[in-house]
Amino acid sequence: MARLHYAAICSLDGYVSDATGSFDWAAPDHEVHSFVNDLERPVGTYLYGRRLYDVMRFWDSPDLADSDSSAMRDFAAIWKGADKVVYSTTLDHVNTPRTRLEPTFDVAAVQHLVAQAASDVSIGGPGLAAQALRGGIVDEVNLFLVPAVVGGGTAALPSEVRLDLDLLDERRFTSGVVYLRYAVRR
């Protein structure tokens, strides 16, 4: 049975981007990126809001074929091999393969998509994930805590949602990044 995962790379104080919108402090090194790739390999569908889709379109770039980073080339192949659903009221089309556009996020429709999926579904971006978390349909929360405090910005988790979580896995990386995997208790 497929599961819906929310994953975020965030600062120690819980932000995916700082007050200026920057997230350059969160760029994973090779060790973390390779680990992320292994987690993403079973994902069959990515759910994105417009802003995260704009960032993730980078992985469709033909320039990555010449990248010196095997982890980057690997993730590009993983990303290209998965389906993508973009939720946006401002986009009128999407320009990456295996991508469809939906005007609104519907909790029941996403729940049905996950129930019918042959492989796991990943929801990305804190705004979109907040809707799924509020709707009670997220099965796992995966956080990569970067050893940085940015003091404000876009929060990884919504403030208006109560979640009871069970720790499933953890890992510490040489860079000081810590991975935490939680099941959402129903």
95: domain CATH number is 3.40.430.10
| Residue 66 to residue 1: CA distance in whole angstroms | 37
pTM equals 0.94
Parent domain of 106? 4-184
Domains of the chain: total: 1
| Residue 102 to residue 117: CA distance in whole angstroms | 18
State pLDDT tens for residues 104-147.
999 999 999 999 999 999 999 999 999 999 999 999 999 999 99
Contacts of 43 (CB under 8 A, 6+ apart): 5, 78, 82, 119, 120, 121, 122
pLDDT greater than 90 at residue 182: yes
Is the Cβ–Cβ distance between 80 and 60 less than 8 Å?
yes
What was the pLDDT predicted at 62?
65
